[in-house]
Amino acid sequence: MSHAKGLIFLGPPGSGKGTQAQLLSKQLAMPHISTGEILREAISKKTELGEKAQFYVYQGELVPDELLLDLIRERFNQNDIQSGWILDGFPRNVSQATFLDKLLLELGKFSEQVINLEVSDKRLVERLLLRGRKDDTAETIRRRLEVYREKTQPVIDYYRQHCRLTSVDGNHTLEEVTASLKEVITI
């Protein structure tokens, strides 16, 4: 059986992972899967899982892992990902990473590569301030980065320990980072 390639993008807020995932999705003709988009689509289509997720979203709560994992499982059973996919914003914790490993093993048709975009805090703060969101102050951005590191560093360590992590310097221009990513992606 041939294996389709899956790419998992990790990186702090402002690292460019969403932008790079979208660009590479077009260039490699692989769907870009974002947990935010999965949630919005399930809610708008009023699927059973979407109805459950809507309750949490409208309350301003985080969608529980179990529900998010069910949505990911459902998405991975759709036909458009059979030749590969790019996942952005998931996994966010080790529990989600182990779930994803089990799901991919169960599906038995994907091999994945985990890419971590490494960007200096100084550059991240600059980029996020340039986005111009009203709630993005240097202080709130630094706090978001602390929370990201607390929650996501164990995921990075998990993939590093399993020899499945490739780090890319994301401090450069959009085009330079895209070129670096193309050099390390093994499809």
Q: When comparing pLDDT for 136 and 81, which is higher?
A: 81
**Tokens encoding 157:** 């360590």
pLDDT in tens, 45-76: 999 999 999 988 888 787 898 999 999 999 99
Using a 10 angstrom Cβ sphere, with 0-12 exposed, 13-18 middle and 19 or more buried, the burial of residue 84 is buried
Q: For the residues 143-147, what does the mean pLDDT come to?
A: 90
Query: What is the structure's pLDDT at 1?
Result: 41
Q: Which residues contact 176 (CB under 8 A, 6 or more apart)?
A: none
Q: What is the CATH number of the domain that holds 132?
A: 3.40.50.300
- The domain tally of the chain equals 1
User: What share of the chain in percent tops pLDDT 90?
Assistant: 61
Alpha helices, H only, 29-173: 35-44, 48-58, 65-76, 94-107, 121-131, 138-161
pLDDT band at 151; cut points 50, 70, 90: confident
Q: What is the CA radius of gyration of the chain?
A: 17
pLDDT at residue 156 tops 90: yes
Q: When comparing pLDDT for 135 and 33, which is higher?
A: 33
Full domain range(s) for residue 23: 4-184
Query: What is the structure's pLDDT at 127?
Result: 93
Q: Which residues contact 172 (CB under 8 A, 6 or more apart)?
A: 180
Q: Are 97 and 165 in contact (CB under 8 A)?
A: no
pLDDT at residue 173 tops 90: yes
CA gap 32, 24 in Å, rounded:
8
Query: What is the structure's pLDDT at 132?
Result: 78
